[in-house]
Structure 1
Amino acid sequence: MATAREEPQTTSRARGDGLYYGWVVAWTSFGVLTITYGVQFSFGVFLPSIARDLDVSRTQAAAAYSVYVLVYSIMSSVSGALTDRRGPRLVLAAGGVLFGIGYALTGAAQSTWQLIVALGLIAGLGMSAAFVPCNATVVRWFAHKRGRALSVSTSGGSFAAVVVPFLAGWLVERTSWRVLYLGCAVMLLVGLLVASRLLVGRPEDIGLTLEDELGRRGAAQPRPATADDGAGATGAGAEVSLTPRQAARTTSFWVLVSIFLCTWLVVFLPLVHLPPFAEDLGIGATVAASLVSAVGIGGLVGRTLTGGFSDRVGRTVSLAAVLGVQVVAFLVFAVSDSLWTLYPAAVGFGFGYGGTTTVFPALVADLFGRAHAGALTGLVFAGAGSAAAVGPFVAAWMYDLTGSYRAAFVLSAVVNGMGLVLVVVLRATTPAHPGGRAAEPSPLRGTGQLAPGRRR
């Protein structure tokens, strides 16, 4: 009976009498990504201490992080599909348990293989329950303000990068990295279990619709056909989504995978190796760790601005802009020799990284619809995001080989530049709508025929 009374109240709030529950979902996701990415981004701060304590090279220690990224990227396809079928609560709670076990064992590791099992495998499985399930849930709650809502949720990662690595750098100079990882284990276990109770899979689960997002339920407001609409759909209420199998038969899916492959292949390189790079230049550990915070500041700005911007001018225009900033940032890293250049480059990289992360789930949902957003976001993330495991490891190998990270930064700029070219290709293959706005691929067609919609 309590549930029956609660649903009309929620509907009333959605109609303008209060807060639309989609924003609760977005801000809860913000909290989840703050604590999960905060711990993840601290690895670069802990890396020198871990390598010294285990008496291994940075390449060997970074191998555990590469396995971690590989595992959570690949398994995001599973967690995304589970989110579609079972909802986000179960997935997030399971992730919290895995995080707690994984990071507690990380703090107790005595060898490289133990670090790989604890951090790489177990904590990596826990991380697969964060980005994709949370943001796939957010996109189901929004159609009109999807980019803006994703700006809120994805900003958690950038907020974490501002605060946590700087704090971690201060703490690691005063206590053991092992104690810090044990504290992280407790924080993630409790935090994700609490957050799991606040997430609801979609508005229909509590008697709402997408029109409640604007507080106009029942008004039958017409809207243009979008990427959520099927072939021939032209008005309000029409929504058809592609299954993963159908999406994989479209050209746009593989172009999308290729774009983010070039983006994420090197995305974690600064987050892991920028503090050690700064220390090699003679900068203290605490100040070096603040460079990751500078990345977070840029990311916070990038995520905040890019979401709403992409709602207005289109996803590909926004994606091209932020990727261009990222290319420039990598080139500046390569020639930097002081904080005067490292800080602006870190902010610029963060802006680009934050922007691409915000556009990604929205672009998937725009192209292929809401119903399988978890599976599709997870599938793209698994295919492209798993490449992020390679970047930090290759950079560590290049450092051991040359004694410098500069060549790795140049290579990163080249790879991101290839992604920028592919964005232009995606834009060029989307012809203009007669009304002057770019057309969007219809999710049911996927064969080059297009339906009008938001700008691409």
Structure 2
Amino acid sequence: MNPVSANHRLFYGWVVVAAAFAVTFVGFGSAYTFSAFVPSLQHDFGASRGSVSLVFSLAGFLYFAFGVVSGPLADRWGARSLAMLGMLLVGAGLALASVARTMVEVYAAYGLGVGLGVGCAYVPAIGAVQRWFIARRGFASGIAVSGIGVGTLVMPPLASWLIDTLGWRSAYLALGSLAAVIGIGMSCFIVNDPRERGIGPDGFPLAIGEPLRVSAGASLWEAIRSSQFVGLYAACLICSFSVFIPFVHLVPYALDHHIDQPAAVLLLGIIGVGSTLGRFFLGSLADRIGRPSFLLMMFIGMAGSLAIWVIATNFWSLSAFALLFGIFYGGWVAILPTVVMDHFGGRHVSSIIGVLYTSVAIGTLIGPTAAGFIFDISHSYTLPILTSVGLNIIAASIAALTVRTSARMATAD
């Protein structure tokens, strides 16, 4: 019998999941509106597509790289205060971007504000979710990070409407206010560990004498020296050079193929639909088939979907790409924290996730910007997209090797 149901009370772990969902919704949702702002920024500042793309790449680099700082801080001080600070920074960054007078000021406001803000909040919030669950960890993590998918579905069309109605500057101000109010408010409900509320993971009672804070698991140094971590890091690094290119360049690509602005922005929303499906439904599937093998499937799926983008030139073919890419991208994001928790335990899970996400940070900094400058030179996205397919195939190969190595080690033990 479920220990929580006996008392007819909601297991507080689901409240933590809801809070993490809200943080990822407004944080990443605000960040992924960027593609809707590209034409306005190019027009008002006379900037090339590559230089405008660097705004997103800088923010993406920071919000993944900063996890290496926010993760250890959350392990020591708790996730709530880090998440609240992060959401405040996101709101402030968007508000300051609304009054920027040069591209350099956009880099500083959006790049630093949104980048550091999401970096402050994301790893601590997702790390906290991992500690609250064991049996349904993949499902719970999938729901928490599905906020990214729902944010990608809701926020770009909202941003497009705000731009058309108010102009891009007022649109940034409105999005910043929304991010601060919802993000800070929901962050208040994050609790770092179930033992702080006198219960164990999944709502089971604590054993007599069990400590009130989690103590089991590898140290950060033990984790990063392991073959499992090295394999995960390499696969995520190579994959990340390509995975965020659609979030910056899909709308300009669609506009280049004579698709009107509302329909082009809708493609980002379709990625959000797929991402939500991938995070929400595939997380529980991963619990059943094995999370490492599931991760391998996500790399293969992203490679296959990006191959569709190479030949997609109209709205419906681009919609098919966007939906499939979103599903596999969403599954990839959902499963990474749970794989870390499975391998290395909960004692330093936020720190380990933070270090792992530096791989994603490097890829995010380089990939979308490089794609933009290649387009400026060649006036085509064919080379960046084909390269993206190949990189995901390489990432899948590394993941397969890591899964086999881990299985051999488990058999030897």
With structure 1 as the length reference, what TM-score do the two structures score? Answer: 0.86
What whole-Å deviation, never above 9, does each CA across 1:85-131 have from its counterpart, x for those lacking one? 11011101211221222111111111111111111122211110232
User: Which one of 281, 293, 297 corresponds to residue 269 of structure 2?
Assistant: 293
Aligned partners of 2:263 and 2:315 also within 8 Å: no
Deviation, 1:12, is: 7.9
- 1:217 maps to 2:208: no
- 2: distance between equivalents of 1:302 and 1:13? 28
Deviation, 1:264, is: 1.8
Look at both structures and tell me which one has the larger radius of gyration over its CA atoms: 1
Q: Where do 1:93-132 residues align within 5 Å?
A: 93-132=84-123
Q: Where do 1:8-47 residues align within 5 Å?
A: 13=4, 16-47=7-38
**Pair 1:373–1:259, CA change in 2 (3 A):** same
User: Which one of 281, 290, 294 corresponds to residue 305 of structure 1?
Assistant: 281
- 2: distance between equivalents of 1:276 and 1:308? 35
Deviation, 1:405, is: 1.3
**Pair 1:170–1:188, CA change in 2 (3 A):** closer
Aligned partners of 1:98 and 1:123 also within 8 Å: yes
- 2: distance between equivalents of 1:421 and 1:132? 27
- 1:319 maps to 2:295: yes
Partner of 2:366: 390
What is the SS of the residue equivalent to 1:130? helix
Q: Where do 1:297-376 residues align within 5 Å?
A: 297-376=273-352
- 1:246 maps to 2:228: no
Partner of 1:183: 174
Stretch moving more, 377-386 or 252-261? 377-386
Q: Where do 1:231-242 residues align within 5 Å?
A: 240-242=216-218
Q: Where do 1:129-278 residues align within 5 Å?
A: 129-210=120-201, 213=202, 216-217=204-205, 240-278=216-254
Unaligned runs of 5+ residues in structure 2 are: 209-213
Look up the equivalent residue of 2:205 and give its one-letter code: R
Aligned partners of 2:224 and 2:352 also within 8 Å: no
- 1: distance between equivalents of 2:184 and 2:149? 22
Aligned partners of 1:299 and 1:355 also within 8 Å: yes
Aligned partners of 2:25 and 2:148 also within 8 Å: yes
What is the SS of the residue equivalent to 2:298? helix
Over the matched positions of the two proteins, sequence identity in percent amounts to 29
**Pair 1:332–1:245, CA change in 2 (3 A):** same
- 2: distance between equivalents of 1:15 and 1:363? 31
Deviation, 1:170, is: 2.8
Aligned partners of 1:395 and 1:408 also within 8 Å: yes
- 1:416 maps to 2:392: yes
Aligned partners of 1:255 and 1:422 also within 8 Å: yes
What whole-Å deviation, never above 9, does each CA across 1:241-284 have from its counterpart, x for those lacking one? 11111112211111110111122221111011001100000011
Stretch moving more, 263-272 or 18-27? 263-272
What is the SS of the residue equivalent to 2:120? coil
What whole-Å deviation, never above 9, does each CA across 1:410-450 have from its counterpart, x for those lacking one? 111111111110111011113369xxxxx48xxxxxxxx54
Look up the equivalent residue of 1:28 and give its one-letter code: A
What whole-Å deviation, never above 9, does each CA across 1:7-47 have from its counterpart, x for those lacking one? xxxx9847552211001100111111111111111100111
Q: How many residues align?
A: 407
With structure 2 as the length reference, what TM-score do the two structures score? Answer: 0.94
- 2: distance between equivalents of 1:286 and 1:31? 26
- 1: distance between equivalents of 2:15 and 2:316? 40
Unaligned runs of 5+ residues in structure 1 are: 1-10, 221-237, 434-438, 441-448, 451-456
Q: Which has the larger share of helix? A: 2
